[in-house]
Structure 1
Amino acid sequence: MNFKNLTNKTLITDNDLDWEALGLGVKRKIMAYDDSLMLVKVAFEKDAIGTIHNHPHLQMSYVAKGSFEVTMGNDKKVLNEGDVFFAPTMVFHGVVCLEAGLLVDIFNPHREDFLK
């Protein structure tokens, strides 16, 4: 996919974008971004894991579907559809999908590593 084409679009149709398989029951779709902001959909099969990690980006994630056990630093909580988590810069975080689900992630600035 040519991600450069996403930077100048202001009206995005979901069906025009492809999923990127990340393996082990996880796939993502980069919906839109510019230098300062990125929105990504991440779909999880039941029991799939978003491995504990950290990064210099601010991240907010909206649980659009399903149920996730979310680890944020030393805290752990089950979040369900409609809930949100916020990952501050460099805080370790990750998820375990308890029932098939979808997260909508917003990053500031955009994740350059996702575009490679």
Structure 2
Amino acid sequence: MNFKDLANKTLISDNDLDWQELGAGIKRKVMPFDDHLMLVKVEFEKDAIGSLHNHPHLQLSYVAKGSFEVTIGDEKKILNEGDVFFAPSNVFHGVVCLEAGLLIDIFNPHREDFL
């Protein structure tokens, strides 16, 4: 399934979507989205690093599996399964995966650069 097929789709089976290998122990799966909202699964191997970055999008991330050291601005905290972090627009943020894990990222608006 290509990204154009995901836009505004209402019912999606996870098995119908492919992972995108990003290298360095990280891969992502873009889920359904519209102009305002996007959900992305990001899987990390132990010790993989989601380097510090920023973007204009609001980001809310749910730790679905594993353990991560999360940095947002000047704050740093270890988050585990069931925890959440919020990255405001244009604030630098990143993660270090301490135990193989999965983040569920939600963006507003959708990330055009992921398509």
- Structure 1: which 5+ residue stretches go unaligned? none
Identical-pair percentage: 81
Q: Which residue of 2 aligns with 1:81?
A: 81
Shift of 1:50: 0.2
Aligned ranges 1:1-116 → 2 under 5 Å: 2-115=2-115
Cα-Cα RMSD: 0.7
Secondary structure of the residue aligned to 2:56 is coil
- C-alpha distance in structure 1 between counterparts of 2:35 and 2:93, whole Å: 23
Structure 2 counterpart of 1:52, which letter? L
Shift of 1:2: 1.6
The count of corresponding residues between Structure 1 and Structure 2 is: 115
- C-alpha distance in structure 1 between counterparts of 2:103 and 2:39, whole Å: 10
TM-score after normalising by structure 1: 0.98
Shift of 1:95: 0.1
- C-alpha distance in structure 1 between counterparts of 2:66 and 2:3, whole Å: 28
TM-score after normalising by structure 2: 0.98
- C-alpha distance in structure 2 between counterparts of 1:72 and 1:9, whole Å: 32
Cα displacement string for residues 52-73 of structure 1 (whole angstroms, at most 9, x for unaligned residues): 0000000000000000000000
- C-alpha distance in structure 1 between counterparts of 2:30 and 2:113, whole Å: 12
- C-alpha distance in structure 2 between counterparts of 1:74 and 1:44, whole Å: 23
Structure 1 residue ranges, 4+ long, deviating more than 4 angstroms after superposition: none
Structure 1 counterpart of 2:58, which letter? L
Structure 1 counterpart of 2:109, which letter? P
Shift of 1:8: 3.2
Structure 1 counterpart of 2:80, which letter? N
